[in-house]
Amino acid sequence: MIGIGRIARLACGLLAAGLSLAAPAQAQEKPALVFTGIPDQDESRLVERFGKVAQYLEGKLGVPVRYVPVKSYPAAVTAFTNGQVQLAWFGGFTGVQARKAVPGSQAIAQGAEDAAFRFYLIANAATGLTRSTELPKAIAGKTFTFGARASTSGRLMPEYTLRQNFPGQSPDQIFSRVGFSGDHSRTIQLVQSGAFEVGAVDYSVWDLDSKAGKIDPKAVSVIWESAPFPDYQWTVRGDVEKTYGAGFTDKLRAALVGITDPTILEPFGRSKFIPVSNAAYEPLIEVGKATGLLD
């Protein structure tokens, strides 16, 4: 027969084993934090960029973190609005759209460079256009491509700037043909090939593609640089603390601001991330209304 003492010891052992098995299960009770980012450049670069972010955040937050790609800028906003993702790397304008659609959402971090972002006007060498400190009026009558329709540096700010420099004229009236490439890397390729004579592009993507050897300086060059404006940021839904607990937003912000690994930062073209708030993007709301791109 098994003595009472041994039974007690077995019971304690089984209880302890049960607790040790329960602990990991409890750690997995929180659902994955799912995030996305606007597809502003080629897909392989996005997978590299966001895969590293997911791995980093999972280690810092103690919850599973998963990146899901989207095919377009509006799709990123829709995924955020529908709650398919709780966090997103938005451009300035898509962030404004997303926060308008989901009250309580917050911009929590931006690249240090995003506080004073810029876009470039680029031109095919065959145009004869060269770099200028003033926006060259000789672009009128040329073929022109924006980036994505909801891009801050590829559409919103370029269109606003063009309307300011060509009063009373829309882009369709300024140029002989207007297109939308879909992303900045594609804009560069289209202007470099001569499919379009002039285009507007995110300066950071231009720099990344230039370093990667994807730009032929004999075929395409920067002809003008814009004034600064606020752009990209990480935006989180306002309901994340219901799922992940009080203080989660601050913990997430601290994790993003705490990124120092150059292998994470370099694919973004950023030196670091810094805290930011919704108020920083008020100027884009005014520009969106002025151009008719925001209600």
Q: Could you read off the pLDDT of 224-277 as tens digits, one per residue?
A: 999 999 999 999 999 999 999 999 999 999 999 999 999 999 999 999 999 999
Residue 108 lies in a domain: yes
**Domain identity same for 108 and 197:** no
The pTM (predicted TM-score) of the whole model is: 0.84
**Domain identity same for 243 and 161:** no
Residue 19 lies in a domain: no
C-alpha R_g of the chain:
24
Q: Residue 209's domain is classified under what CATH number?
A: 3.40.190.10
**Domain identity same for 157 and 253:** no
Q: What is the mean pLDDT of the chain?
A: 91
Report which of 203, 208, 272, 235 is spatially closest to residue 90, judged by C-alpha positions.
235
Question: Does residue 245 contact residue 262 with C-beta atoms inside 8 Å?
Answer: no
Residue 75 lies in a domain: yes
How many helices and strands (H and E) does the chain possess?
12, 11
Of 168, 193, 225, which marks where a domain is finished? 225
User: What single-letter DSSP state applies at residue 30?
Assistant: S
**CA separation for the pair 170, 164 (Å, rounded):** 10
If pLDDT is split at 50, 70 and 90, which confidence band does 195 have? very high
Question: Does residue 98 contact residue 235 with C-beta atoms inside 8 Å?
Answer: yes
**Domain identity same for 168 and 73:** no
**Domain identity same for 83 and 146:** no
What range defines the domain where residue 192 resides?
A: 118-225
**Domain identity same for 43 and 78:** yes
Q: Could you read off the pLDDT of 57-100 as tens digits, one per residue?
A: 999 999 999 999 999 999 999 999 999 999 999 999 999 999 99
pLDDT at 22 over 70: no
**Domain identity same for 271 and 131:** no
Residue 213 lies in a domain: yes
Query: What would the DSSP string read from start to end of 205-274?
Result: HHHHHHHTT---TTTEEEEEEPPPB---EEEE-TTHHHHH-TTHHHHHHHHHHT---HHHHGGGT-S-EE
Q: What is the mean pLDDT of residues 162-184?
A: 97
Of 33-42, 209-218, 257-266, the poorest mean pLDDT is in: 33-42
**Domain identity same for 185 and 130:** yes
Query: Into how many domains does the chain fold?
Result: 2
Question: Does residue 194 contact residue 126 with C-beta atoms inside 8 Å?
Answer: yes
Of 225, 242, 270, which marks where a domain is finished? 225
Taking every pair of Cα atoms in the chain, the longest distance, rounded to a whole number of angstroms, is 101
Question: Does residue 184 contact residue 41 with C-beta atoms inside 8 Å?
Answer: yes
**Domain identity same for 173 and 256:** no
